[in-house]
Each structure stands twice: as structure tokens, then as C-alpha cells.
Chains A and B, each alone.
Chain A
Amino acid sequence: AQKITQTQPGMFVQEKEAVTLDCTYDTSDPSYGLFWYKQPSSGEMIFLIYQGSYDQQNATEGRYSLNFQKARKSANLVISASQLGDSAMYFCAMRESSGATNKLIFGTGTLLAVQP
């Protein structure tokens, strides 16, 4: 069965520094998609970045980049130049490959606190 593991329940980072949020995944399917979402205290899930299993390069979106290590089955999110507004819950997710659905499997999340 497919699974997402986020081992960091909480992280602290100083404003303007970079931070890495860990994510490992388990799947036997060669084709899969990995996503990172940000969830502020308001509850909305905000899409940040996507990495496809066949993508040759690591995905980047502004201050967000994904450190994709396929052999190690890890897809860590790197946030550069942290801002106070980055304080939120961060979820790693994978689209389930069995069946023709868009079902996302989420990890348990990492709570990031950016300190001034």
C-alpha cells in the first residue's frame, strides 16, 4: 500500500533562513506524483509544488524547491528565505496510482514556526 511519512511533527526556523521539511514515500508503482500543500490556521490547503516520478529535474516554484531523491524515495521541501507568513502546517501527499482516481494520500504534516 502507498504511504507518506513525515517524521518531523514540528520545526522552528529563524526568519530569512532556509528550512527543509522531510517527506518519504512508499510505492511500488513506477509512475506517481508528489505534492506539497501548506495549511494555515484558517484551514485552507494551499498547493505549493509538484514533482512527477519521471521528471528529470527537481521542481521549483519561487522560494519553494523540492529535493527529489528517487532511489531513497524522499521528496523533501526546501523553503528559502523564510518569512513570518510561512508559519503553517505543511503536508506532503502522493496521488494514489491504483484506480483511475485523483485520490491523494497525505502524511501527518509538519508544523513550521518562523521566528523573528
Chain B
Amino acid sequence: DAGVTQSPTHLIKTRGQQVTLRCSPISGHKSVSWYQQVLGQGPQFIFQYYEKEERGRGNFPDRFSARQFPNYSSELNVNALLLGDSALYLCASSPQGYSNQPQHFGDGTRLSIL
């Protein structure tokens, strides 16, 4: 079975631009979470979606938004990009919206802002 897939793998943008990152969960998983990992730090929670509804939101500005589609794939959008948005963006999926089952992560999208 395919794992969590993210696209693109790398992306270079300039300040002020907008970006869309995509994630396909493991088949049968209904929950998708997004994390931002700045170099040298642990991942920080951005959003969780379950059954197409937002379940949780981390401490990120409104420039960050996301959605989940009927097939449970998800998009993360970031508007008005800042230099500080340069990071590895990780998507994780799990079967349920609230459980101690392990979340499985994709390879991430490396976003560089010039």
C-alpha cells in the first residue's frame, strides 16, 4: 500500500507570493494533519482535518489555510509568503480523528522563500 504522498517535493517562492501544498493520505485514513518544521526544530502543528472538517488549528496566522476533499486528500495554502515561512512542511495521516494510533508522515515539501 502507498504511504502518505506529498507534492511538490521542493518549491522556491519569493516574498509576497502564494503557495499550495498537496497531500494524499494512506488509503482508508480519514484524518490529515499538517506540520511546519523549521531547520533545527521539531515539527509544529498547523492544522488537522477529519472527515473534511477542521478539527484543530495551531498558533499560525490567518495567512495559513487548508481544506480536505471528499477523497480525504488535503491542501495547505499559504498567502503573502514571508522569509520565515521557509521550512519543511509535513503531512501526516491517521485512521481516526482522535486516537493514540500513530500518525504516518509523508516525505514533506521543502519550501524556500527568497
Contact = CB atoms under 8 A, between A and B. Distances in A.
Contact of B100 (A4, A33, A37, A43): A33
B107 A104 contact: no
A102 B107 contact: no
Query: Interface centre among B33, B43, B97, B106, by most A CB within 10 Å?
Result: B43
B42 A103 contact: no
A101 B107 contact: no
Interface string A9-49: 00000000000000000000000010101000011111100
A56 B88 CA distance: 36
B103 A102 contact: yes
Query: What range describes how many residues of B lie at the interface?
Result: 20 to 34
A71 interface: no
Nearest to A43: B108
B105 A102 contact: no
A109 B39 CA distance: 11
Given A45-B92, A101-B97, A103-B48, A108 B103 contact: no
Given A44-B108, A101-B97, A102-B31, A91 B102 contact: no
A64 interface: no
A42 to B, nearest CB: 7
Interface in B84-108: 88, 90, 92, 94, 96-100, 102-108
9 contacts: A45-B90, A45-B92, A95-B100, A96-B45, A100-B55, A101-B56, A101-B97, A102-B98, A108-B41
Interface of B: 31, 33, 35, 41-45, 48, 55-56, 58, 88, 90, 92, 94, 96-100, 102-108, 110
Given A103-B56, A104-B33, A109-B41, 6 more contacts: A37-B105, A44-B106, A44-B107, A102-B97, A103-B33, A103-B58
